[in-house]
Amino acid sequence: MGKATGFLDYERLNSEEIMPLERIKNFDEFHVPLSKEKQQLQGARCMECGVPFCQSGMMLNGMASGCPLHNLIPEWNDLVYHGNWEQAFHRLKKTSSFPEFTSRVCPALCEAACTCGLNGDAVATKENERAIIETAYENGWAAAKPVEVRTGKKVAVIGSGPAGLAVADQLNQRGHEVTVYERSDRVGGLLMYGIPNMKLDKAIIKRKVDIMKEEGVTFLTGVNVGKDIKADKIKKDYDAVVLACGASNPRDIKAPGREADGIYFAVDFLTANTKSLLDSEFKDKKYIECKGKNVIVIGGGDTGNDCVGTAVRHGAKSIVQVEMMPPLPACRAESNPWPEWPRVLKTDYGQEEAIAVYGSDPRIYRTTVKEFIKDKKGKLTKVKLISLAWEKDENTGRTVMKEVEGSEKEYPADIVLIAAGFLGSQDYVTKAFGVEVNERTNVKTEKDSYHTNVDKVFTAGDMHRGQSLVVWAIHEGREAAKAVDKELMGYTNLE
């Protein structure tokens, strides 16, 4: 431990953020990193705990505590403090496939479980991670390292989201010949089209994918397995297949008037926006235009926030974000002790920007849609919302939602974006491969297994565990790669 009193000597510093009214002028990333010297002092704040909860990745009260990848966080924090950036990079890469992604989009489960955070500010682990990987790229340490020895085994990975990429990267490094099939026009899945550019610059994805190509991974885009190419052919041509297609069935809102023109799923809105940005800087107009329109976002999670931030950048006239749940407390409740994930109220970048532009938080809590109101031409004009009360059911003892009679209120709406989560995998893929699914339509496997009921066919990521975080998808991909490798070779040396 290089600085025993570092957590006392130095305050937590975060990267600077470009102010909301300035950053909404474009779709660029808006965090300005600290200098190397200041970032190294952030590494000094790590306590190198005897029991580092930051890297535990365990489940507590149904929520993850610590990094699911079990990153060697105290080790590389200490190396950062000492300025040994190259060694820090090698320690980070032992457990993490894509720190360039997680250091941008992960909610930092590691920091929530940091011992420093028990009575003060957690170590800035996420930004230390970003500094390590970007320093590695700057110095050529993260350059391609083509595999010299091949096993002669061929693996197909269906889907190029974070899980699919992790599977491909690990199995390619092992020496297997890996081909990734992606139905979209660009590699990345959720990373490419589900997360807006200001949160994850798509050049960052391309940079890593280009390295993977140089290392031997083959990517086939615009190929929809199960439709463009039969599953039987894939199974015949490859020694193993990994299904990593995500949980891409969006949850709908069943309310009168749902068929009105102007209602979209968030995933379609975000996809069209990023594709138009990348294809033509919005010149092709192939996106859902919010300029001068009243926008209502249904859903309070990360995707809902991304919709708010995107609509703000397009110049929406007004934005309302509807959440069914009550607001979380400002501080941890006694029933939510450290090192559990803190269930506290957060104002994310999109809400910050809406507050700066419109003067108030766009979120409305304990509310749901009662009716979508359209004009004679079928165009959406208003949304009727109704308040919800959470009451205990006398028969079951469970807390249930009930509409508050007489609380209906109409809001002007030209566009509604449904960001209510996802229900599971798409059945044309699961049916094509003949894999079993559970009641949530996630691909079924035995506990702690990634092998489906079909010979040679494995699964990973959201398609396996349901809608989750990028870091969990990467974890699943790495674990699935071990399972595939063990079946192909009889053993595995993948970490």
256 falls within a domain: no
Do residues 342 and 440 share a domain?
A: no
pLDDT reading at 419 higher than 70: yes
Do residues 271 and 382 share a domain?
A: yes
**Which residues lie closer than 8 Å to 324 by C-beta, 6 or more apart?**
300, 366, 367, 368, 388, 401
193 falls within a domain: yes
- At 474, is the pLDDT very low, low, confident or very high (cuts 50, 70, 90)? very high
Do residues 270 and 412 share a domain?
A: yes
- Whole domain around residue 472: which residue ranges? 154-248+423-489
pLDDT reading at 301 higher than 80: yes
Do residues 228 and 285 share a domain?
A: no
pLDDT reading at 493 higher than 70: yes
Do residues 79 and 103 share a domain?
A: yes
145 falls within a domain: no
CB 98 within 8 A of CB 208: yes
Do residues 65 and 129 share a domain?
A: yes
Q: What is the residue-averaged pLDDT of the chain?
A: 96
CATH number, domain of 353, equals: 3.50.50.60
How far apart CA 381 and CA 375 sit, in angstroms, is 6
The DSSP output letter for 82 is T
- 273-292 confidence digits (pLDDT tens): 999 999 999 999 999 999 99
CB 224 within 8 A of CB 134: no
What domain count does the chain have?
Answer: 3
pLDDT at position 50: 85
1 falls within a domain: no
Q: What percent of the chain has pLDDT over 90?
A: 93
Q: How many CB atoms lie within 10 A of CB 257?
A: 19
- 221-255 confidence digits (pLDDT tens): 999 999 999 999 999 999 999 999 999 899 999 99
pLDDT at position 365: 97
* β pairing state of 63-65 and 58-60: antiparallel
pLDDT at position 3: 85
- 347-377 confidence digits (pLDDT tens): 999 999 999 999 999 999 999 999 999 999 9
Question: What would the DSSP string read from start to end of 204-254?
Answer: HHHHHHHHHHHTT-EEEES--BTTTB-HHHHHHH-SEEEE------BPP--
Determine the average pLDDT of the residues in 29-45.
Answer: 97
**Which residues lie closer than 8 Å to 188 by C-beta, 6 or more apart?**
160, 161, 165, 202, 205, 209
How far apart CA 106 and CA 323 sit, in angstroms, is 22
pLDDT at position 1: 61
Burial 262-271 (b: 16+ CB within 10 A, else e): bbbbbbebbb
331 falls within a domain: yes
pLDDT at position 495: 87
φ, ψ (nearest 5 deg) of residue 398: -85, 150
Distances (CA, A) of 436 to 468, 471, 477: 20, 25, 19
pLDDT at position 224: 97
pLDDT at position 2: 66
Do residues 319 and 414 share a domain?
A: yes
- 147-157 confidence digits (pLDDT tens): 999 999 999 99
pLDDT at position 79: 96
Do residues 219 and 327 share a domain?
A: no
194 falls within a domain: yes
Do residues 288 and 407 share a domain?
A: yes
Domain boundary residue, one of 418, 450, 471: 418
169 falls within a domain: yes
Domain boundary residue, one of 139, 171, 189: 139
- 389-413 confidence digits (pLDDT tens): 988 877 887 888 899 999 999 999 9
Tokens of 350: 């999109």
345 falls within a domain: yes
Determine the average pLDDT of the residues in 409-431.
Answer: 95
CB 86 within 8 A of CB 139: yes
- At 383, is the pLDDT very low, low, confident or very high (cuts 50, 70, 90)? very high
Domain boundary residue, one of 110, 139, 168: 139
Beta bridge partners of 412: 382
Do residues 274 and 409 share a domain?
A: yes
CATH number, domain of 19, equals: 1.10.1060.10
The DSSP output letter for 377 is T
Token pair 């009193």 in the structure block, residue: 5
Do residues 42 and 118 share a domain?
A: yes
Do residues 170 and 235 share a domain?
A: yes
